[in-house]
A = this chain, B = another copy of it.
Amino acid sequence: MSIQSVAIIGLGLLGGSIGLAVQDRASDITTTGYDADADVRGKAAERGLVGTVCTSVSDAVAEADLVILCVPVGAMGSAAAEIAGHLKPGAIISDVGSSKQSVLEDLSAALPGLTVIPAHPVAGTEQSGPEAGFATLFENRWCILTPPDGADEASVEALADFWRTLGSKIEIMDAEHHDLVLAVTSHIPHLIAYTIVGTASDLEDVTRSEVIKYSAGGFRDFTRIAASDPTMWRDVFLQNRSAVLEMLGRFTEDLTALQRAIRSGDGETLHELFSRTRAIRRGIIEEGQDDPSPDFGRGH
Contact = CB atoms under 8 A, between A and B. Distances in A.
Interface of A: 74, 98, 122-127, 132, 134, 136-137, 139, 141-142, 144, 171, 180-182, 184-203, 205-206, 208, 210-228, 230-231, 233-235, 237-238, 241, 244-245, 247-248, 250-252, 254-255, 258-259, 262-263, 265, 267, 270-271, 273-284, 287, 289-291, 294-300
A300 B167 CA distance: 11
Contacts of A195: 251, 254-255, 258, 273
Nearest to A205: B180
Say whether chain A's binding surface is mostly helix, strand, loop, or mixed.
helix
Given A206-B181, A214-B122, A234 B290 contact: no
A289 B210 CA distance: 12
Contact of A289 (B132, B201, B216, B254): B216
17 contacts: A74-B267, A122-B217, A142-B213, A180-B206, A182-B217, A185-B210, A189-B218, A192-B192, A193-B218, A194-B258, A212-B289, A213-B287, A223-B277, A223-B280, A241-B263, A290-B298, A291-B298
Given A74-B267, A201-B277, 19 more contacts: A181-B206, A184-B211, A185-B215, A189-B196, A194-B277, A195-B273, A201-B276, A212-B289, A215-B290, A216-B289, A220-B289, A221-B222, A221-B224, A226-B274, A226-B280, A226-B281, A230-B271, A291-B298, A297-B297
Contacts of A237: 262, 270
Nearest to A233: B274
A243 B280 CA distance: 29
B223 A206 contact: no
B217 A221 contact: no
A194 B196 CA distance: 14
A190 B216 CA distance: 12
A92 B139 CA distance: 53
Contacts of A258: 191, 194-195
Contact of A213 (B199, B233, B289, B300): B289
Contacts of A287: 212-213
B245 A262 contact: yes
Contacts of A263: 241, 245
Contact of A139 (B184, B214, B277, B300): B300
A275 B226 CA distance: 9
Given A141-B216, A241-B263, A254-B199, A291 B299 contact: yes
A297 to B, nearest CB: 7
A224 B254 contact: no
A227 B276 contact: no
A219 B186 contact: yes
